[in-house]
Structure 1
């Protein structure tokens, strides 16, 4: 099993290219099930989750062709992938595939919309808290689907003639459920109105892609999304938006270590709230022609309190990284997690590096320390793992992060990107 070894103490200087967003690429890939034509996606990141989903889509009959090309070094890898599903050969998504990645459960929407039936295993994923599929199933039921759970599988059947548009209000904001209901509604008869919808940029990206395929979706990015059903969707070409979580992660790494880095190919509008908070810690952030410039010239890190919220609030996917930053702040900060009830598993690992963090329910009190010291640590989930990397970059001596397969799920070529900016980071295979 691979590990990452970090020798801390170096400021970061240079350019980091931001990859396509994993959280956008996955639902876009799943949308290929909605059409018999080819969906071409540009700027697809090379990640374990993307590769896993390609295997799942192949099981349903999607033919996948990958074009990879090496651009100049500053741009890194660029992948264009063509997805063609002439015929859906299997409407079952088996446990052995779905259990490895929660987002694969989302195939239930397109399968149901196009074929009128789906049998999908209940999902797996990171152990960061309970994420029930109730919202998904209630939304699909509002479109007329009959839902039965049996033997660990969800069996969904559309009424004769297909799904029917309806008005539905989510009792709680859910990005995944909004993705699924929006995809399912594109082929439903009549108009669907989704209220209390998620507003994340990835929702807007999916809507833009579906509209390019012939869907009629309006309101994406607001709390109310309207979908006018069509009889069929066509192929399209779409570029995956930049990864705002990767953007925020590297911005916090620069704020943690000091330095001057341009995050190339990203967009500040994707994470305004997080960047505003990062500025309050003392980092200088400015827009450039190609992305964002992050600078911290050795001044102290100011403590700032944050509360995670659905977009446009502070992202839960940046909570662990921000906590790592606050371990070196000159004072006390408070971090409240409102999205997932078990997303503080990185606290004990940060403590191994010398952090002073105490928990009270869903709030962490972080007392900044003058120094962190390297130690062996264990990654517990995707975002927690990269928070340990950030802390290790600023720690004295050597930090070894174990179980880095979590990192490979969501961060493309992390060691290479950091090393090119002066960090001492290497992957070690046992």
Structure 2
């Protein structure tokens, strides 16, 4: 397995181009299943998760053509030959369950493996199931697969979500575009990826109102057409690279960045004494000399502080002046990066969903192990601030969500390289 080696102590200066959003692209790709006509996605990130979704769609009979080194995806579902999403593909990526709604809407049937083969209650797939059943679907769990049917098609209805689940909102939003009548999603997720999905569907002819609020109304149509749609900027990659000069010092402009995508995160940087300014091309972040100040962070659904930036923020606070408290309210067991940061000299105490971080003046380079996607990049960022060399092992997680990290950071002055595994 590959490793990434980072030598700290070098300030960063320059520009980093932020890619299209992974989570948005993985939602937009299954949209093709709703139409016989082609869907073209531009600004697509080049990630292993995109390859996994491509493989899943191709297994259903979707034609996928990658152009411009993968930045443009042309998808056509004029000849879907299969409505079963097999475990061997779905187990690799939770977003695979987003084919359920579109398959039910257009083909009135679907068989989709549960992510990781888990029971419904173990992860919130029950929200997806209950929501689609409200539209008239009949869904049964057999041998780790959801067997779903919609005899005569889906029918519009009121769909109250017990939790503002992003995935469930996306599945129902897609399904409702072809349902008969009006669907109202209550307690809908408000993330930018939801707004991006609605804009894409509207380009294809869907009738949608209220995206970005907690109530989305969809008037079903008979069919959707062709469209070209640019994937929204990745707010998690944006936040990650906004932190890079906070670790290393210097000034970095994140091209394509928008304040509305990272409002709660930018507020915490401001409270920590970090300069964030809007430019004509994006967002510019600078730390000149002084250590960041300690801040308290609680993860929340959008527009609150994103859970996907919690690991990176914890790493930054390891060298902040004072004591910070981080509360993880979205996912359990998401502090697995803490022991690895402690290998580098961080002073962290974890009790359940709360982590207390006592800032130290300096981290020290060490061999560390990446435990998940966001933990991977948090350790790389920590390496930028550490004395000596940090070796981040098991970085295959990283390639799921960040394209060419070593190239982007290297271009602004970081001493970083990827070492191929044996």
Q: TM-score range, shorter-chain basis? A: over 0.9
Task: Give per-residue Cα distances to partners, 1:228-281, cap 9 Å, x unaligned.
Answer: 001110010000010100010011121121111110112111111101111111
CA drift of 1:11 comes to 1.2
Task: Give per-residue Cα distances to partners, 1:165-212, cap 9 Å, x unaligned.
Answer: 000110111001100000010110000000000000000000000000
Secondary structure in 2 aligned to 1:156? Answer: strand
Tell me how far apart the structure 2 counterparts of residues 80 and 121 of structure 1 sit (CA, whole Å).
Answer: 28
Scaled by the length of structure 1, what TM-score is found?
A: 0.96
> What is the CA RMSD across the aligned residues, in angstroms?
1.3
Tell me how far apart the structure 2 counterparts of residues 342 and 169 of structure 1 sit (CA, whole Å).
Answer: 28
Task: Give per-residue Cα distances to partners, 1:121-171, cap 9 Å, x unaligned.
Answer: 00139xxx9533000000000000001000010000002x20000001101
Tell me how far apart the structure 1 counterparts of residues 64 and 86 of structure 2 sit (CA, whole Å).
Answer: 20
Tell me how far apart the structure 2 counterparts of residues 2 and 281 of structure 1 sit (CA, whole Å).
Answer: 34
Secondary structure in 2 aligned to 1:31? Answer: helix
1:181 matched to 2:172? The reply is: yes
Task: Give per-residue Cα distances to partners, 1:66-94, cap 9 Å, x unaligned.
Answer: 1115xxxxxxxx71111011021100000
Q: In the alignment, what sits opposite 1:266?
A: 257
Tell me how far apart the structure 2 counterparts of residues 178 and 120 of structure 1 sit (CA, whole Å).
Answer: 17
Q: In the alignment, what sits opposite 1:80?
A: 72
Tell me how far apart the structure 1 counterparts of residues 116 and 226 of structure 2 sit (CA, whole Å).
Answer: 30
CA drift of 1:344 comes to 0.6
Tell me how far apart the structure 2 counterparts of residues 169 and 21 of structure 1 sit (CA, whole Å).
Answer: 27
**Equivalent pairs, count:** 419
Q: In the alignment, what sits opposite 2:163?
A: 172
Tell me how far apart the structure 2 counterparts of residues 297 and 102 of structure 1 sit (CA, whole Å).
Answer: 40
Q: In the alignment, what sits opposite 2:31?
A: 31
> In the alignment, which of 95, 110, 115 is matched to residue 103 of structure 1?
95
Q: After the TM superposition, which residues 16-415 of structure 1 pair with which residues of structure 2 at under 5 Å, given as runs?
A: 16-68=16-68, 79-124=71-116, 131-159=123-151, 161-415=152-406
Decide whether the 8 Å contact of 1:4 with 1:428 is kept in 2.
yes
Secondary structure in 2 aligned to 1:36? Answer: coil
Tell me how far apart the structure 1 counterparts of residues 15 and 116 of structure 2 sit (CA, whole Å).
Answer: 36
Change (3 A) 1:233 1:382: same
CA drift of 1:112 comes to 0.7
Scaled by the length of structure 2, what TM-score is found?
A: 0.98
Task: Give per-residue Cα distances to partners, 1:278-299, cap 9 Å, x unaligned.
Answer: 1111111111111011111011
Secondary structure in 1 aligned to 2:31? Answer: helix
Decide whether the 8 Å contact of 1:130 with 1:340 is kept in 2.
no
Tell me how far apart the structure 1 counterparts of residues 122 and 417 of structure 2 sit (CA, whole Å).
Answer: 34
Task: Give per-residue Cα distances to partners, 1:360-389, cap 9 Å, x unaligned.
Answer: 221100000011111111111111111101
CA drift of 1:359 comes to 1.1
Tell me how far apart the structure 2 counterparts of residues 344 and 170 of structure 1 sit (CA, whole Å).
Answer: 27
Structure 1 stretches of at least 4 aligned residues deviating more than 6 Å after TM superposition:
none
Tell me how far apart the structure 1 counterparts of residues 375 and 192 of structure 2 sit (CA, whole Å).
Answer: 22
Change (3 A) 1:130 1:347: farther
Task: Give per-residue Cα distances to partners, 1:22-54, cap 9 Å, x unaligned.
Answer: 011010001011101000000000000001100
Structure 1 unpaired stretches of 5+:
70-77
1:3 matched to 2:35? The reply is: no
CA drift of 1:342 comes to 1.1
Structure 2 unpaired stretches of 5+:
none
